[in-house]
Every structure is written in C-alpha cells, then in structure tokens.
Amino acid sequence: SRSGQPASDLSEGERTAIAFLYFLKTLEDKDFDVSKGVVLIDDPVSSLDANALFSAFGYMKVRTKDCHQLFILTHNFSFFRQVKNWFHHMKGQGKKKLEQRPARFYSLHTTLTDGFRNAAITRIDPLLEEYESEYHFLFRQVYEVANDTTPETELSQFYGMPNIARRLIETFLAYRFPDSSGDLIKRFDRVEFDAAKKTRILRLLNTYSHSGGITEPEHDPSVLAETRDVQSVDDKHYSGMVNLLTPAGEDSL
C-alpha cells in the first residue's frame, strides 16, 4: 500500500520484490520441509535498486539458511558478491578439496554449435570468486584476448569485447580521474597518450559497444581486428594486474 491506500501501477522493480517475498514466504508452508528440500532461486533482483537488492538478499539469507540444498542463479554482480561473501563464511568453506566444501561456484555458458543452442557448466573464473571487484574479471577477459597467439579465424569471437573493454576503461578512468564528470570522450581527453591511438580505441569502443546492431554501413567489421591491440597508460597498474593473473609458481597466461 501507499499512504494507507492500495497501491496501483506498480513498477517492474516493485512487482519483482513482491513476487520474491511471496516465494520466500512459501518456503514456510507446512507442506514443504525446507530441511529436506531443494530450492532454486533464479536471478531474483532484476530491476531492483541497490537498497532493495541488499534487503532482498537479507530476506533470502534468513529464509533459505536451513535448506537441504540451495541453487542461486544470477547475472547481477552486486548480488553475486553478497551471496559469495555469505558462502565464503560458511563452516568448512576453506577446505582444499572442492567436494568437501559446503558451497561451490560455477558459470553457465551458452554456445551455438551447428545452429543449435547448447549450455555448459564450468568452474567459475577464480578472479570472480576470489576478488571483490568485477574490474579484475574484466581485465582478465581483455588481457587473454589481447595476448591470445592463436590465428584469428572468425571476427565473431571479438564481438563481445568492445562492451567488456568499454566497461573496463570506464571503471579505470573513473578512479584515475575522480574529479572528472562527463562521458568517456571527456575523460579520454585527460589521458596523456598518443592521440592517434586514443582515436583508434574510441572508434572501437563507440562503434561496437552499446549498439543495437552491427549492420550499419559505417560499421566496418575490420575494426574488430584491432581488438588484440591493447595499450597501457599506467604501466605500474597494468603490471600489478598481470601479477594477480599469474600468482607466483604458476605458468604465465
């Protein structure tokens, strides 16, 4: 209700919150023994703002803590971080053998093979599980593509990289220039770097990120071939990030 009156014209976030709370309430039904039950929660925080997301996680944690088995699926990194911190503090989670830990983390990947959609479950990227920031994961994605020595067989393998690279650069520049407001181009202007190379980078990011399609005449697919040409504007920061990807005693990527 709103101000004591029945609420109408609920937003998508409000409908999501109500539906999720109702689902959590049903776990207390007498016909369902949560201590013996399997509960699957699929991306419950869609359209929720930050405060509502944290509240939703709190309710979920209380209502599901006694489940026999719990599966949580999400695309939301903030929600994933809350769940990850919860699971990491479980008793026995520090055991070396994966099968002895009470919680495990996996990634679900979708691929197209001969026109058919397939899904595969793999161990989650260690950077996503071990670090608090999505920035580490984005850095690894760009770094691995940039340093891949295999022949370029299909440009389609690079179509997702401009979006990933843009998010990585926007995050980096937001910390590098915290007093600079505005769009990516304005922040780029403050970077002391080769002007021609900055133009090429911006062309790649602006042509293929945040776009609804790639069929416009001005979208030259050959631009994607420059995806592997990555430059560094902060050598110390770059070296530190690479060291995180290659801990002592491991082979280089």
Average pLDDT on 222-234 reads: 53
pTM above threshold 0.85? no
Distance from chain centroid for Cα 135:
9
Average model confidence (pLDDT) across the chain = 77
Q: Per-residue confidence at 213, pLDDT binned at 50, 70, 90?
A: very low
Angle between helices 50-64 and 77-88 (to 10 degrees): 40
Residues with Cβ within 8 Å of 158's Cβ and at least 6 positions away in sequence, in order, are: 145, 224, 225, 227
pLDDT digits (tens, 9 = 90+) for 92-119: 998 888 889 999 999 888 777 777 888 8
Cα atoms in the Cβ-side hemisphere of radius 13 Å centred on 214: 15
Tens digits of residue pLDDT in 53-77: 888 899 999 999 999 999 999 888 8
Residue pLDDT, tens place only, 128-149? 787 767 787 788 878 877 777 6
Nearest CA among 37, 38, 40, 132 for reference residue 82: 132
Per the listing, tokens 């944690």 go with 61
H helices then E strands: how many in the chain?
A: 9, 4
Sequence-separated (6 or more) residues with CB below 8 Å from residue 98:
104
176 near 234, Cβ under 8 Å? yes
Domain spans in the chain, listed from the N-terminal domain onward? 12-124, 134-245
- pLDDT above 70 covers what percent of the chain? 78
Q: Reduced to 3 DSSP states, what percent helix, strand and coil does the chain have, rounded to the nearest 5?
A: 50, 10, 40
- C-alpha neighbours within 13 Å on the C-beta side of residue 2: 5
Tens digit of pLDDT for each residue in 161-193? 777 888 888 888 887 877 776 677 778 778 888
Residue 151: pLDDT over 70: no
